Amino acid sequence: MAQGTIKIKLIGSTICCPVKHKIIVRSLGLKTMNRTVTRPDTPCFRGMVKKIPHLLAIVED
């Protein structure tokens, strides 16, 4: 993992999830399953991941 960034992967489907969960996934920049995005390692992004741990995973290199 690079210093100051985290890689977030969408591991679950948002089909039957509440709208709030779908909004969090889209705001992270994830659109389809098994996509990975790199975001700054800030409390804001860590909080988003903690809200929906059943849908997201932090990827280790």
pLDDT mean over 21-36: 96
pLDDT mean over 9-32: 96
Q: How many secondary structure helices (H) and strands (E) does the chain include?
A: 2, 3
Q: What share of the chain in percent tops pLDDT 90?
A: 90
Q: What is the CATH number of domain 5-59?
A: 3.30.1390.20
* Three-class SS state of 32: coil
- Structure confidence at residue 60 (pLDDT): 85
Domain regions of the chain by residue span: 5-59
